[in-house]
Amino acid sequence: MTKIALLGFGTVGRGLYNILKEKKELLNSLDINIEISKILVRNLSKYKDIDKNLLTNDYNDIYLDKDIDIVVEMTGDVENSYIYIKKALENGKDVVSSNKAVVSKYFEELMEISQDKGRLFLYEASVGGTIPIVREVKSLSLFNNINKIYGVLNGTCNYILYNMFENNKDYAEVLKEAQEKGFAEHDPTDDVKGFDMRRKLRILMSIICKGKITEDAIEVFGLDKINKIDVSYLSGNYRVKEVCLGQKSGDNYVCIIEPCLFKKDEDLARLEGAYNMVEIYGDYFEKITLKGPGAGSLPTASAVLQDIIDVIKKNDIRVYGGNDLVNFNDNFEGQYYLRTSGDFPEDFVEREEIYKGQKIIFTKKIKRSDFLNLIKDKDAFFARCIN
């Protein structure tokens, strides 16, 4: 019997609890016997349908309990979660986390502690929802040189952009709808500004490059400046997606998150709803594509359970390293769509027109760093042109 403790009983924690209850007989038949011993919550009186003997608001009841094998961290907190995870690992427990903020901020330290203590620290659900992207990247990195990872890693962003283009809704309307459906937080800043995707790309590229890539080293431009003028102008032939790009060449890397402009018949352009989709490129394969739900209670809980099973089966691949890496973001070049009310140097303009009182510009190929410095309009929106 494997005894686990749940830290947090919100959307993901409740989802995991329900899956374990529903699939108990099936898991037992596969010799996977999981028992929830404790659930850490803030308010002990809130959960009337849960056995009160399972609930605690004191973490000492968990990390000091020698019978608990795995701590499953599913809070939205950073600093307390860091303390919880660190104490659990140091006290000989394996840890599973769906919290990308704490995994990203303390990635190297927590991996080092887990290795020193001979414990497993798994975090699949913190990156791609149901997409097994971490597992795939670890496995491929054993013998492949992964030179590029590329795609949509935020279900909220995709839900907003999909509905703006396909259902002709404005940004505020779709954001409110996403919040009501549980695809977006009450404060959506991390999602729409690209910070959530930055944490995920930081984790993946640190694995791929076998070295430390900090969040600050990743260039980010969110989707929150897009409006109905952009959608009206582009929707006949194009779609916009908020895309993460990680490229590696030797010890040089590029990590950028920004809106991208696709012809509407391309695979990423057709990505629907709150789905994620990632393409991986490497030496011995042209492209591997992973696609699946990127948000929601059960999709994330499903990924958490897979990590729990991997811990029970002692199934993990360690591919971390201390390579010295060089950031090449400033040398990255592209062509851009720009909607602005300000001026932009003619030398870098391929074509320009006025549409609904705004300048619509398609640039020539230009260094991204130069392009950003030339934009003077704080309300401008841009997207990098793909193909």
| Extents of the domains making up the chain | 2-122, 145-294+324-385
Exposed (0-12), middle (13-18) or buried (19+): which is 1, by Cβ within 10 Å?
A: exposed
* Residue 348, marked binder: no
Tokens of 63: 């990390």
pLDDT (0 to 100) of residue 117: 96
Rounded CA-CA distance 89/70 in Å is 9
Low-confidence ranges of the chain (pLDDT < 70): 295
Helices assigned H by DSSP within the chain: 11-22, 24-29, 60-63, 79-90, 100-105, 107-117, 125-128, 133-141, 155-166, 171-180, 189-192, 195-209, 228-234, 297-312, 368-374
pLDDT (0 to 100) of residue 128: 84
pLDDT (0 to 100) of residue 143: 86
* Residue 322, marked binder: no
3-state SS class at 269: helix
**Residue where the block lists tokens 């989709």:** 277
Closest CA to 72 of 136, 20, 128, 112: 20
* Residue 225, marked binder: no
* Residue 100, marked binder: yes
Rounded CA-CA distance 216/210 in Å is 18
Superfamily of domain 145-294+324-385, CATH level 4: Dihydrodipicolinate Reductase; domain 2 (3.30.360.10)
pLDDT (0 to 100) of residue 286: 86
Calculate what percentage of the chain has a pLDDT beyond 70.
Answer: 100
Mean pLDDT of all residues in the chain?
Answer: 94
pLDDT (0 to 100) of residue 11: 87
Q: In this structure, are residues 276 and 294 in contact, taking their beta carbons and an 8 Å threshold?
A: yes
pLDDT (0 to 100) of residue 270: 96
| Annotated catalytic residue within 200, 241, 248, 291 | 200
Rounded CA-CA distance 281/240 in Å is 22
pLDDT (0 to 100) of residue 181: 83
23 is known as an active-site residue: no
For the structural domain made of 2-122, what CATH number should be given?
3.40.50.720
Q: In this structure, are residues 136 and 281 in contact, taking their beta carbons and an 8 Å threshold?
A: no
pLDDT (0 to 100) of residue 19: 97
* Residue 128, marked binder: no
Residues 6+ apart with CB under 8 A from 46: none
* Residue 243, marked binder: no
Q: In this structure, are residues 293 and 148 in contact, taking their beta carbons and an 8 Å threshold?
A: no
| pLDDT tens digit sequence for 43-102 | 998 998 999 999 999 999 999 999 999 999 999 889 999 999 999 999 999 999 999 999
